[in-house]
């Protein structure tokens, strides 16, 4: 009969439960094969009238099932607010942890139960309790995007810079959850904006991972260090450049990063040519997984222009050149962006670099020019391009054009000065002066 009573309570059949209790047909302490009482099931479904009835009949308020879970835990788990608050007022034990070490504050932080959390905090629950992963309720609330819970925890003194086992702080978690509102809340409560986790990732770098301009702008405006790098040597601008995030790169450049920013020179000559050595031996450059140049930066002195060129981002190359990058900047192995673009078969970038004045005659530490790599890989059109810009005829034409251009400019300056004298002498009217000036400038 006691099992029937449990079924009646789980089904919300108050009348049957009342009859069974009135006739002393059941034991309210009876448990099923999972160690759960009728109160567990009534609380689980939020049957507040049955919960009150069972408590009046002497049901154990804090009885634990085989998993150590109480009726109050069940009510919180299922977001049964009224039932949970009643059980807490009746004296239910609030310090309960599941097998993962989560307290009821962790649970309510995840499910967004603000009123229940307020009651728990009033009862003295530890606002900075840690679960088995060293996560606090604030970390959980940030990860689950529960803005009101985040504010409640902060108002109750939660540690805004607490970290879990991998070093993530609430701010890093909020940025990873793509939530600028919670990120702002945390920053306004003095979250360490430049904190890095065990992988060396900052909030700004994580925002760049997701190409999240809103969060990137927010973090930069709030003072995030744009020069922080991860343990892999990955900086925000580096990642943004490698992934063709032009707006973000522009933002970083506006904030003062040198357009010629590059990896520190390591002095390790055994790795400086690793990319180009791979180019010489690989048969399929489209299989970038064979050589990861987006995430592992082991090439000393490699600049943003190198990164943009080898990834084939023409618009990024143009942006960097517009911002004044040194077109012939070399990495530790003496390679220019032209070496990288030529070796990767990026014809459009090779052509653009040459048109903008890149020097195809630069020799790297292996005594090789860009054309050597194009030839090795059989990129005949690129080789022809490089030859056309490096041929004796092209060099002579360029040399001849320069004095001619300089001479033409000098002639224009002299003609304009003569014209000004005629105007000053009153020989020409203003209208005549402007007409003749336009003719001279037009050439």
Q: Which secondary structure element, helix H or strand E, spans residue 160, and what is its range?
A: none
List the domain boundaries for the chain.
258-266+299-402, 409-441
DSSP state, residue 78: T
Is pTM beyond 0.85? Reply is no
154 neighbors 160 (Cβ within 8 angstroms): yes
Task: Give dist(CA 66, CA 313) in Å, integer.
Answer: 59
pLDDT band at 407 (very low <50, low <70, confident <90, very high): low
pLDDT band at 280 (very low <50, low <70, confident <90, very high): low
Say which range, 149-158, 274-283, 298-307, has the weakest mean pLDDT. 274-283
Residues 180-202 pLDDT 10s = 999 999 999 999 999 999 999 99
CB 418 within 8 A of CB 424: no
Lowest mean pLDDT among 215-229, 271-285, 367-381: 271-285
pLDDT at 408: 64
Q: Report which of 50, 46, 48, 45 is spatially closest to residue 13, judged by C-alpha positions.
A: 50
**Predicted pLDDT of residue 303:** 92
Q: What pLDDT, on a 0 to 100 scale, did the predictor assign at position 430? A: 78
Q: How large is the angle between the packed helices 114-122 and 104-111, nearest 10 degrees?
A: 160
Provide the pLDDT for residue 409: 64
How does DSSP assign 89-134, residue by residue? Answer: HTT-------TT---HHHHHHHHT-HHHHHHHHHTT--TT---TT-
- Taking the C-alpha atoms of residue 296 and residue 301, their distance in angstroms, rounded to an integer, is 14
- Does residue 56 contact residue 86 with C-beta atoms inside 8 Å? no
Q: Do 98 and 68 contact (CB within 8 A), yes or no?
A: yes
Mean pLDDT for the chain?
Answer: 86
Point out the least confidently predicted range of 6-10, 189-193, 347-351: 6-10
Give the pLDDT mean for 361-369: 90
Mean pLDDT of 248-271: 77
Among residues of the chain, what percentage have pLDDT more than 90? 65
Topology of the domain comprising 258-266+299-402: 1.25.40
Residue 163: C-alpha distances to residues 158, 171, 329 (Å): 12, 10, 41
Instruction: Give dist(CA 21, CA 363) in Å, integer.
Output: 94
Q: With beta carbons less than 8 A apart as the criterion, state whether 109 and 146 touch.
A: yes
Q: Please report, rounded to a whole number, the percentage of residues in the chain having pLDDT higher than 70.
A: 85
Name the phi and psi angles at 395, rounded to 5.
-65, -45
Mean pLDDT score, 312-319: 96
Whether the CB-CB separation of 273 and 365 falls below 8 Å is answered with: yes
Q: What is the mean pLDDT of residues 60-72?
A: 94
């Amino acid at each position: 009969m006691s099992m029937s009573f449990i079924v009646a309570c789980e089904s919300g059949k108050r009348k049957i439960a009342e009859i069974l209790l009135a006739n002393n047909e059941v034991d309210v302490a009876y448990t099923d094969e999972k160690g759960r009482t009728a109160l567990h099931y009534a609380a689980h479904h939020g049957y507040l009238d049955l919960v009150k009835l069972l408590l009046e009949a002497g049901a154990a308020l804090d009885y634990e099932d085989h998993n150590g879970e109480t009726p109050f835990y069940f009510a919180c788990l299922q977001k049964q607010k009224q039932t949970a608050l009643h059980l807490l007022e009746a004296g239910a034990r609030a310090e309960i942890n599941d097998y993962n070490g989560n307290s009821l504050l962790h649970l309510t932080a995840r499910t967004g139960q603000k009123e229940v959390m307020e009651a728990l905090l009033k009862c003295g629950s530890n606002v900075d309790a840690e679960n088995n992963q060293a996560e606090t309720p604030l970390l959980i609330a940030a990860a689950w995007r529960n803005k009101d819970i985040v504010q409640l925890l902060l108002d109750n003194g939660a540690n805004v810079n607490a970290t879990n086992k991998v070093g993530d702080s609430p701010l890093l978690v909020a940025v990873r959850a793509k939530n600028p509102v919670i990120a702002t809340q945390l920053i306004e409560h003095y979250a360490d904006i430049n904190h890095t986790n065990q992988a060396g990732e900052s909030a700004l770098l994580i925002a760049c991972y997701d190409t999240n301009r809103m969060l990137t702008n927010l973090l930069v405006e709030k003072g995030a260090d744009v020069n922080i790098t991860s343990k892999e040597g990955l900086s925000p601008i580096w990642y943004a450049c490698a992934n063709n995030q032009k707006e973000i790169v522009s933002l970083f450049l506006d904030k003062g990063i040198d357009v010629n920013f590059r990896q520190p020179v390591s002095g390790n000559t055994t790795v400086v040519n690793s990319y180009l050595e791979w180019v010489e031996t690989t048969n399929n450059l489209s299989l970038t997984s064979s050589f990861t140049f987006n995430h592992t930066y082991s090439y000393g002195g490699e600049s943003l222009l190198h990164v943009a060129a080898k990834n084939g981002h023409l618009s990024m190359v143009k942006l960097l050149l517009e911002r004044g990058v040194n077109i012939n900047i070399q990495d530790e192995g003496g390679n220019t962006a032209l070496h990288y673009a030529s070796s990767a078969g990026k014809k459009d970038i090779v052509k653009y670099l040459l048109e903008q004045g890149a020097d195809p005659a630069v020799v790297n530490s292996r005594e090789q020019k860009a054309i050597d790599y194009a030839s090795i890989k059989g990129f005949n059109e690129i080789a022809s391009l490089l030859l056309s810009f490096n041929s004796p005829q092209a060099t002579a034409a360029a040399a001849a054009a320069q004095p001619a251009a300089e001479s033409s400019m000098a002639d224009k300056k002299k003609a304009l000065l003569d014209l000004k004298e005629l105007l000053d002498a009153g020989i020409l009217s203003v209208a005549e002066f402007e007409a003749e000036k336009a003719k001279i400038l037009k050439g």
